Every structure is written in C-alpha cells, then in structure tokens.
Chains A and B, each alone.
Chain A
Amino acid sequence: MSGFLRSVVVLLGMLAMQWVFADGQVLDWLQRMREAERQVSYAGRLSWMDGEDLAVARIVHVFGADGVHEVVEPQRGDWVQLRRDGDRLSTFRQSGGDAVAGADAPFAYPFVQSLIRGVPSMDIYDVSLASAERVADRPAVCIAFAPRDDHRYARRIWLDAATALPLRGETTAANGRHLDVFELSELRLGDQVKLPESPPAEARVSATAPGGTEAPGGQDGQLDWEATWIPPGFRLTLRGADQPGAPVVRPDVAMYDDGLASFSIYVEPAVQGVETGMESRRGATVVVDQLVEAGEGKQGIVTVVGEIPPLTARRILNGMRLRSGNR
C-alpha cells in the first residue's frame, strides 16, 4: 500500500472514530475488545515498559474450530514458552530445567481478557472515550479510566479501530508521570498467523488448571488476620497460603482486584532480625511492609504489594489487625 493510500485509510479511520466518540459507546468498545480473542487470530510483539526497564515478548493468538491457542515467549533470558491450548496451560523451558524463576505459573486468561477483567465499576473509574490516534501504525480509539479517588492509578488503553484488539496501555500517577506502558506492535492478522510448533514434551515443566482460587491454608504458627480497611471497589479474588518463592516462611495471602489493578496482602509470623518499614517500587507496583503486634507477645510481618499508590498501600497496612493462634 502506498504511503498516500495508507494516510487516507488512517484518516478515514480517525474520522470514523470521531463519529463513534460522539456516540459515546465506551461499553460497546470494551465488549468488542473482550470478544476479539474469539473472532480474530493475531500475532505481534508485546512490549512492556516497567518503570525504567523494558520487557518484550512475542505473542501468537490463534482462534480456530478447536478454540483458543495462545503462545507467549518472553524475549529476554533463557528461552521460555507459555502456551495455552484451549483450557490446557503449559510452560516449556530450555532443556526442561529451572533456569527461570517462578515460570511455573502459566497465565489463567488470554492476553486480551487479562488486561481488563470485566468492566470496572463506574463508581470508582470515570470511563470515557478520549481520543482517536494512530498507535502501532494503526488507527486506534483511546479509552480513559480516570480514578474517582486517590486509591488507584489512571489508565488509558488504545484499541485497534478495526479489530478492537488492545494496541497500547498506560498507567499514570496523579501527577501525570507514566508508571508503566505496554504496546502490541508489528501486528499481523488473520490467515497469515501460524501457531509455533509445540516444543518437545521433555521441555514441558508444568500443566495447571485455569484460574481458580487456592483453598485457605491453615498451618501451624500462622496468624489470624483481618484487613479493616480495603480501598473501595477492590474485591477479594484469592485467599490462601502461598508456597513457592516465599521469602521467609509460607505466608498467608489475599489478593484483591478492582478490574484493572490488583494488590496482595501477605501475612507471616515475624522472624528475628528481619527489618521492616522499607518502601520499594518497580513500575506501578509498590511494596511496603510493617511489623504488627498480634498479642500474646507475638508479632507478624504484613506486606502489601500491588499496583496502587504507596499511601493507599500504607493505609491498608495500618488497618491490619493480627491475632495469635492457629486457625
């Protein structure tokens, strides 16, 4: 396609989008986005700017008569392939070894669904169609999620005008600073998209059922706890004991989600010599912790990790109540 023709197509696309904005059909666009994974096969390059670091993965999504297939291959470090074939999830690693930390947890939902899990409540986000722009060399429509309180970040997501696939997303702090950015570029669509061959079986290291929540833990030494304050709009999506990668002991965990952002609360018995009170961050994700009295001379360490403002994380920490004794 010549440069002139491409410009005309882009211009027409943008004009069409302007008409759509006037109609204000935000929810229709979100619905189209969620349906896109069952209507179109695509492949592209998924880039994620995490603070000052860039993560890149190749993504191939094929929808056929036998359902959804999706392959994600991060482009850094040892070779890893995360693969979805219908409801079957697999992780393949180089030589079947354990070169990559924590790679044994394949994704529960395909890429598109994982960006927005349902339509976030209008009570917590002001959702609007913001502008028409060219993104990743394609006409796109931008949907803005402006938080109605201080307890979450603003998000914008650009959907492909033709397919409603997400092309770009941004998370920004209240001062407008970008905390993270993703972009799906070099997009290929339709019949030209082919699924990579499945790696040899010996490279497969795990298979996990999709989604689901873990059962409550209940082990010796754990502390009962209650979060007396959770930011409005966040709902509990997971409660149980986490095991792999636990830094000190197996902590109790709860995860909360508002449809766009999530945070986790980890509770563990305090260990002598462990310093708490530090605040750290990577991209939009903040980590804060605090020593909390549990009564009967016991203490616990509460850690909050999530894509929420630091002050909100601190407020969650300060609302934590711990009690000693096994559940």
Chain B
Amino acid sequence: MSEQLREALSAVLDGEADEFTLRRVLDETSRNVELRDTWARYSLIKATLRGDADAAVLASSLALRRRVREALAVDEPALVSDPAAPAPLPARSGRSTSRWSVAIAATVMLGAGIAVYFSGVAPSTTTPSLAVVERPVVPLFDGPASQRVSSGNGVAELQRDEALRRHEAYLRMHLRQAAASGYGPVAATRMLALPASESSQLRDGVAPR
C-alpha cells in the first residue's frame, strides 16, 4: 500500500479528510485487501489503546462502510448486502449538502473511535449510534450560519443555526480567556480577527433567551 493511501486513511480516521480523499479511501477498500486490513489494524490499535476491542471490530465492519456510503448519498449500489443495517439516510442535493454529507460520512467513519470514548459512560454498542451521525464537523465563522447548517427542515435548521451561534460565542469566550490568562497577543489577534457575530445580542454580550 502506498504511503499516500496510508496517509489518506489516517486522515479519514482522524476526521481530517476532504470529500475526494474520503471517496478514494472508500473505493479502495472495496478492492484493496491490504487497505482493509490496515483500516482494521489502525482501528484496533486506537481502540486497544483506549481499552475497547468491540469498537475496533466495529470500525472494520462492512456495515460501517455501508453507512458511510449512505451518508455520502452516492448514486451507486451498496458494496454489500447488510439486512441488519438501518435504512439509508435521505438523499440531499446542492453544494452545502455535499459538504454536509461528507462531514456526516467522515463522522460515521469516526464512529468506532468515538464509540470508544463513549464506552466509559454509555453502554457499549455493536453498531454506530445515530447520535454519532448527528455530529458533523462544521467550520466556525465561515459565512452565514444558515448556509452551513442547511438541512431543508425549518425547525432543525433553526436549532442548528442556534447551536452554531453558541459554538461561535464559546470560541470567542475561550480566546478571550486565553488572551487574559496567558496566551496573550496570539489569542487576542485570533479573537479580534473573527468576523462580527451575526447576532447583535451576542456582539453586545447580552444573553439571548
């Protein structure tokens, strides 16, 4: 297996992969036995380090890859038949949808790793929970919040928009505390470079209720 492919797999498992890399790794897993083994081995190492072998098995399962395919909403048949797998996620369209689905897919692939961390608190599971699918990585301060959390569902969209505003407010607070407690000009420069909040209430430090 090439070093490039190894790095791509590592990026996917770390949640750092872009759509192209994610699709490339998925495609390769269907025909590259070595890659599948490496995927399983990486996951096993990660899981073993955290004391949860179940999650490692989960990470290498075909069902998980099927879920990733579904999250990507690719127009191709699933690689394997897995009657136990849940119904596919609804298909979406548009640019923001693509970004959203990649984030979801990457998150699903991270499901095993995340499940490892859940294992100390939540009951152990043998399939990735939907809660994992609900955690796409969203860039902060990257245009209007509403464009980044578009889901086609009005209520859900509003909730996500509000959640994103909360995250952006907390990022500001963290940087402000960092600047005041030791990280100085670096944190201050980062903080002052942030775009003004979309919410005038947040900008003025007033809590929205």
Q: Which residues of A contact B (CB under 8 A)?
A: 46, 48, 50-53, 55-57, 59, 70, 72, 74, 76-77, 80, 82, 98, 100-103, 105-111, 113-115, 117, 150, 173-177, 182, 208, 211, 213, 229, 237-238, 242-250, 253, 255, 257, 262-264, 266, 271, 273-283, 285, 287-289, 303, 305-306, 309-311, 314-315, 318-319
Q: A279 near B192 (CB under 8 angstroms)? A: no
Q: B179 near A106 (CB under 8 angstroms)? A: yes
Q: A275-B163, A277-B134, A310-B15 are in contact. Are A107 and B187 (CB under 8 A)?
A: yes
B188 interface hit (Cβ, 8 Å)? yes
Closest to B188 in A: A107
Q: B190 near A109 (CB under 8 angstroms)? A: no
Cβ contact of A244, chosen from B110, B165, B171, B176, cutoff 8 A: B176
Q: A287 near B170 (CB under 8 angstroms)? A: yes
Query: Which residues of the partner chain B approach A176 to less than 8 Å between Cβ atoms?
Result: 7
Q: A175 near B10 (CB under 8 angstroms)? A: yes
B137 interface hit (Cβ, 8 Å)? yes
Q: A264-B177, A310-B137 are in contact. Are A107 and B184 (CB under 8 A)?
A: yes
Q: A48 near B207 (CB under 8 angstroms)? A: no
Cβ contact of B118, chosen from A175, A249, A310, A318, cutoff 8 A: A318
Q: How far is the CB of B5 from chain A (nearest CB, A)?
A: 13
Q: How far is the CB of A71 from chain B (nearest CB, A)?
A: 10
B49 interface hit (Cβ, 8 Å)? yes
Q: A173 near B193 (CB under 8 angstroms)? A: no
B194 interface hit (Cβ, 8 Å)? yes
**Chain B residue total in the interface (Cβ 8 A):** 72
Closest to A174 in B: B14
Query: Which residues of the partner chain B approach A245 to less than 8 Å between Cβ atoms?
Result: 169, 172-173, 176, 202, 205
Query: Which residues of the partner chain B approach A246 to less than 8 Å between Cβ atoms?
Result: 169, 173, 205, 207
Closest to A264 in B: B174
B74 interface hit (Cβ, 8 Å)? no
Query: Binary interface profile of B, 161-185, with partner A (CB < 8 Å = 1, else 0)?
Result: 0111111111111111111111111
Query: Which residues of the partner chain B approach A273 to less than 8 Å between Cβ atoms?
Result: 159, 162
Q: How far is the CB of A43 from chain B (nearest CB, A)?
A: 13
Q: How far is the CB of B173 from chain A (nearest CB, A)?
A: 5
Q: A211-B182, A274-B163 are in contact. Are A48 and B121 (CB under 8 A)?
A: no
Query: Which residues of the partner chain A approach B185 to less than 8 Å between Cβ atoms?
Result: 46, 57, 59, 70, 72, 82, 107, 110-111, 114
Q: A245-B173, A247-B208, A285-B171 are in contact. Are A315 and B184 (CB under 8 A)?
A: no
**Complex Cα spacing A275 to B151, Å:** 14
**Complex Cα spacing A27 to B177, Å:** 28
Closest to A76 in B: B193
Q: A289 near B167 (CB under 8 angstroms)? A: yes
**Complex Cα spacing A289 to B175, Å:** 17
Q: How far is the CB of B6 from chain A (nearest CB, A)?
A: 10
Query: Which residues of the partner chain B approach A74 to less than 8 Å between Cβ atoms?
Result: 188-189, 192-193
Q: A248 near B192 (CB under 8 angstroms)? A: no
Q: B171 near A287 (CB under 8 angstroms)? A: yes
Q: B192 near A117 (CB under 8 angstroms)? A: no
Cβ contact of A274, chosen from B46, B162, B191, B204, cutoff 8 A: B162
**Complex Cα spacing A282 to B197, Å:** 15
Q: How far is the CB of A173 from chain B (nearest CB, A)?
A: 6
Q: A100 near B169 (CB under 8 angstroms)? A: no
Query: Which residues of the partner chain B approach A106 to less than 8 Å between Cβ atoms?
Result: 179-180, 188
Query: Which residues of the partner chain B approach A213 to less than 8 Å between Cβ atoms?
Result: 181
Q: B187 near A114 (CB under 8 angstroms)? A: yes
Q: B190 near A50 (CB under 8 angstroms)? A: yes
Query: Which residues of the partner chain B approach A175 to less than 8 Å between Cβ atoms?
Result: 7, 10-11, 14, 16
Query: Which residues of the partner chain A approach B15 to less than 8 Å between Cβ atoms?
Result: 310
Q: A255 near B16 (CB under 8 angstroms)? A: no
Closest to B174 in A: A305
Q: B188 near A105 (CB under 8 angstroms)? A: yes
**Complex Cα spacing A56 to B176, Å:** 17
**Complex Cα spacing A290 to B100, Å:** 20
Closest to A250 in B: B207
Query: Which residues of the partner chain A approach B189 to less than 8 Å between Cβ atoms?
Result: 46, 48, 55-57, 72, 74
Q: B180 near A208 (CB under 8 angstroms)? A: yes
Closest to A80 in B: B192
Q: How far is the CB of A120 from chain B (nearest CB, A)?
A: 13
**Complex Cα spacing A114 to B136, Å:** 32
